[in-house]
């Protein structure tokens, strides 16, 4: 798939969000304070001393409040405030010295002592205070708010500048004390041996330098997903006890051209400063894809990043102490310049483990689990061909979950057996309701696979067959080859595998003179094998030993888009005829076998309908004895447990 450029995302830390909240809170307090300070639009009326005396004489003043403003005991000014009688409005006036104030007070006393006046003036003297607390609070709030705003703006500016410079920094994460070692890696003995000299070089570089040896600058780990490429890279750092830099290929790419190249420069700069170390680039195909490919031309950011990576790998000298390890499962799309000697000098293929490797991996993942001592990992390994290390780890975890679900204290073999089915096909759907006709079809279909597997030497052996639905399948059979063949398959092997896959469809046709959709997946797999025999393996008698098609899984858009076929339309017709001929021939062989062993087919289908699941041991017993003892014993026990019917009057008369 084409790599999508990620937009830069900056997640604000919690402290920054708290600072913004406090800044907003302080601003709100300042605004409220200013609002209340200036909200009173009815300001008091300012009077001169003469106007004040005139209003006193006119009997329009209701109250008088006198308070000192400032000054010492020799010279002090006074503020006089109060209300008018008629409209309740406020006034304010000032007296410059004590003598003027004394005259005003005397005038008020005379006014209040006059019996003819209708209203006395309320007179109050407020002693002077050393400071005005409210004004101080107001000034402090405003000053503090401005200081905080200036600090906040300066801090944000510094953070913005720092983030702008950090944008081009490497996203590689360093792990100094790597605890993963080769003891945690199982099933890859040859791969570990290939990496052993790199570990030795990181521990003792002088031995290699004195001999003039050149340790590879880069090692690329190639293999399917889940085979342990990242685990092995961590184990190398753990064995050598050096820092481990981890970065993903997608961490270099951004929407801005040049950012990835800057991050590559910074990453190698950091790695050199911590040498000796391991620099691990996971999924390097995200940045190392061939330049100039894809619809519409190249990708400027990715290509500049790749160019910088090539320059940096050429830039640091040999035996510098920095070993670059990369991992990918798409080595076919990498740029050739990345794989040439002097950059990634060594390529190590990490494939799916064989039966011994799977056994060792299972033991590693069972270290911290409570297992029944009678469980043998060799048998589990035989049942899991094609499983990767990640699949086996998931298998053991599912078994532990199933044991915990049943409140068991240890993992039993049945838990592991169920976990294998869950990993391959999904959980069992026992609640799904099938009609009697559907169950009969499914039972005979699965029995057909079992019969063909038993009677053909090279067909896959049925280790388990069930009519309990899983996933989208109404039934399921675990078919494994008698001997695991990792490399070579003969034409007879492939033909008999196709025959085994067609056994279910043939059983339906023979038993019911009807076919169903249950053989959909079987036909798909059989057709794929037959087509590969003709177009890839050169096993066609008429077309000869010629390869007409490549594995389409390695094709990516841009490199092979619009490429013409390497054969003509006549050859395409011949290919279709050959594929159809192989399928028809295997179908007839399966039909002969089913008709020949029809009674065995019916017996297996009968017990499938009764017990729903048969193991390899059950099938072998049915072949040898014609019955299943564990089910027959249950029926006999149930019959013995039934009470004898009571003897009635009529039965006595009949006996007599």
Residues serving a catalytic function are 446
Q: Which distant-in-sequence residues (6+ apart) come within 8 Å of 618 by Cβ?
A: 607, 611, 628, 630
Distance CA 266, CA 169 (A): 6
Q: What is the DSSP string of 41-52?
A: --PPEE--HHHH
CA distance 401 to 403: 5
Give burial (CB, 10 Å; 0-12/13-18/19+) of 372.
middle
Dump strand ranges (E) for 134-177. 173-175
User: Nearest-CA neighbor of 387 among 412, 413, 357?
Assistant: 357
Alpha-carbon distance of 656 to 646, in angstroms, equals 16
E strands in 111-155: 122-125
Contact 512, 444 (CB under 8 A): yes
Sign of CA dihedral 286, 292, 297, 299: positive
Can you give 218-281 as a three-state secondary structure string? EEEEECCCCCCHHHHHHHHHHHHCCCEEEEEHHHCCCCCCCHHHHHHHHHHHHHHHCCCEEEEE
Where do runs of H (alpha helix) occur along 366-512?
377-382, 389-405, 413-425, 436-455, 491-512
471: nearest Cα among 524, 422, 431: 422
- Report how far residue 344's alpha carbon sits from residue 219's, in angstroms, rounded to the nearest whole number: 5
Residue 311 CA to residue 327 CA, distance in Å, equals 19
Report residue 83: phi and psi, to 5°: -125, 150
Q: Are 470 and 427 in contact (CB under 8 A)?
A: yes
Paired strand residues for 540: 544
Residues 6 or more apart whose Cβ sits within 8 Å of residue 368: none
CA atoms of 182 and 174, how far apart (whole Å): 20
């Amino acid at each position: 798939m084409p790599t999508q450029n990620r937009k830069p995302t900056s997640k604000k830390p919690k402290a920054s969000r708290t600072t913004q909240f406090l800044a907003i809170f302080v601003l709100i307090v300042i605004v409220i304070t200013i609002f209340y300070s200036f909200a009173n639009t009815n300001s008091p009326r300012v009077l001169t001393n003469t106007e004040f005396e005139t209003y006193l004489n006119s009997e329009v003043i209701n109250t008088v409040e006198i308070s000192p403003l400032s000054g010492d005991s020799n010279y002090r000014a006074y503020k006089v405030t109060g209300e008018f009688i008629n409209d309740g409005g406020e006034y304010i006036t000032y007296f410059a010295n004590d003598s003027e104030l004394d005259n005003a007070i005397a005038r008020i006393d005379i006014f209040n002592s006059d019996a003819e006046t209708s209203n006395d003036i309320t007179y109050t003297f407020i002693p002077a205070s050393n400071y005005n607390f409210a004004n101080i609070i107001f000034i402090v709030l405003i000053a503090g708010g401005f200081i905080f705003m200036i600090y906040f703006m300066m801090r944000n500016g510094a953070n913005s500048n720092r983030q702008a410079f950090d944008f081009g920094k490497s996203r590689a994460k360093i792990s100094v004390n790597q605890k993963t070692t080769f003891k945690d890696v199982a099933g890859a003995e040859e791969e570990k041996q290939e990496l052993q000299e790199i570990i030795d070089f990181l521990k003792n570089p002088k031995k290699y330098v004195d001999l003039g040896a050149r340790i590879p600058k880069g090692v690329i780990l190639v293999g399917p997903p889940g085979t342990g490429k990242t685990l092995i890279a961590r184990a190398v750092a753990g064995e050598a006890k050096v820092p481990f830099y981890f970065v993903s290929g997608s961490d270099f790419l951004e929407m801005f051209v040049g950012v990835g190249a800057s991050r590559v420069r910074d990453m190698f700069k950091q790695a050199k400063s911590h040498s000796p170390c391991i620099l691990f680039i996971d999924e390097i195909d995200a940045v190392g894809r061939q330049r100039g490919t894809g619809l519409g031309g190249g990708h400027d950011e990715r290509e500049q990043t790749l160019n910088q990576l090539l320059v940096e790998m050429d830039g640091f000298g040999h035996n510098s102490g920095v070993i670059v390890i990369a991992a990918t499962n798409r080595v076919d799309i990498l740029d050739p310049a990345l794989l040439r000697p002097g950059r990634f000098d060594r390529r190590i293929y990490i494939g799916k483990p064989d039966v011994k490797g799977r056994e060792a991996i299972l033991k590693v993942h069972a270290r911290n689990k409570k297992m029944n001592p009678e469980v043998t990992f060799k048998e589990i390994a035989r049942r899991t061909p094609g499983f990767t290390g990640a699949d086996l780890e998931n298998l053991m975890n599912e078994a532990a979950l199933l044991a915990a679900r049943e409140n068991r204290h240890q993992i039993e073999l049945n838990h592991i057996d169920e976990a294998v089915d869950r990993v391959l096909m999904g959980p069992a759907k026992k609640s799904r309701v099938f009609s009697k006709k559907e169950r009969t079809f499914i039972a005979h279909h699965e029995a057909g696979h079992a019969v063909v597997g038993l009677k053909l030497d090279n067909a896959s052996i049925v280790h388990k067959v069930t009519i309990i639905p899983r996933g989208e399948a109404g039934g399921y059979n675990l078919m494994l080859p008698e001997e695991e063949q990792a490399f070579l398959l003969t034409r007879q092997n492939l033909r008999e595998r196709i025959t085994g896959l067609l056994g279910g469809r043939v059983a339906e046709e023979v038993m019911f003179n009807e076919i169903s959709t249950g053989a959909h997946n079987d036909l798909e797999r059989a057709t794929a094998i037959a087509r590969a025999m003709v177009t890839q393996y050169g096993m066609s008698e008429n077309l000869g030993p010629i390869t007409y098609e490549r594995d389409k899984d390695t094709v990516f858009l841009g490199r092979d888009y619009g490429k013409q076929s390497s054969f003509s339309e006549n050859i395409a017709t011949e290919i279709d005829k050959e594929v159809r001929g192989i399928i028809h021939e295997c179908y007839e062989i399966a039909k002969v076998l089913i008709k020949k062993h029809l009674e065995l087919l019916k017996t297996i289908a009968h017990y499938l309908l009764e017990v729903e699941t048969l193991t390899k041991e059950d099938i072998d017993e049915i072949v040898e004895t014609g019955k299943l003892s564990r089910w027959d014993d249950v029926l006999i026990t149930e019959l013995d447990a039934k009470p004898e019917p009571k003897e009635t009057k009529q039965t006595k008369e009949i006996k007599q």
